[in-house]
Structure 1
């Protein structure tokens, strides 16, 4: 029987699936999103410092890191929004949906360009949502 299972696994290997579970584990924290947004600010600083240097390799790496971290911040924020926040939280924070939507739009702006104000506003928006998150935990 064991050999049959090995043959089946060899002929049809299982797919790997990655996802945040839907079990209400309660392990949510905006810290990673805030840290990722801070990285976007730092990468924007480095890009602006090197823009006239001709160091295209470093600039390219900074851009990729900025885009990756903006995506990570948005993903983390969306997980908190969709999996943690409940209708009862909206009673106390009726503009929560608008705040999350606006923060995610700022994240898209950070990915699309090199704009220090957008990067700083992105982090501030995530911090504001993080403050709401912690208030709901009391």
Structure 2
């Protein structure tokens, strides 16, 4: 029985080493740049650049702070998602995301994470979903 237990533990070890890492996050950001055409009016194309700080808490209680930069743009009329963007936390991860507005001042977003080769999540991918409004941004995610 003891040998069977040890064999099962050894067989499961590779799976445990790559177990998913679930987390929650709260993010604050600041618009630092942008460009739009035309310069005025409701209909425009453009990019908004923000810097942000995310406070990340994993299910095991571990906490991290991630600081990065994002670029977001409005998609052309008729696109599946009105807003799309990318973010980078140097030496940690890059993110691609899309958002759907909720009313006039909020959005629900989801995205794809990719660990950068020189960071702690190298070789891993993940998913996030979050809500953004005037109070800030908060959500959940999982590293696969």
TM-score (norm 2): 0.25
In terms of fraction of residues, the more helix-rich structure is 1
Structure with the larger RCO, 1 or 2 (CA within 8 Å, 6+ apart): 1
Larger radius of gyration: 1
